[in-house]
Amino acid sequence: MKQYMSAKELRLVGKAWEIRHKLRKLSTVNPSDATLSQLLSSFK
């Protein structure tokens, strides 16, 4: 699985189960009501 993050985008490349797993993992790191831009800014 490959993951590309920048200030304005998140790109996940992989199998569907890998992407679902990664999104679930990212959502537990931050509050569930966080937007994508908030999520990306927290990983700078």
Q: What is the pLDDT of residue 29?
A: 67
Q: What is the pLDDT of residue 28?
A: 74
Residue 41 contacts by C-beta under 8 Å, 6 or more apart in sequence? 7
Q: What is the pLDDT of residue 34?
A: 72
Q: What is the pLDDT of residue 18?
A: 95
Please state the domain extents for the chain.
2-42
Q: What is the pLDDT of residue 38?
A: 73
DSSP string, 1-44: -EEEE-SS-EEEES-HHHHHHHHHHHHHHS-TT--HHHHHHHT-
pLDDT digits (tens, 9 = 90+) for 1-44: 999 987 778 899 999 999 889 888 877 766 667 777 777 776 65
Q: What is the pLDDT of residue 31?
A: 64
Whether the Cβ atoms of residue 1 and residue 18 lie closer than 8 Å to each other: yes
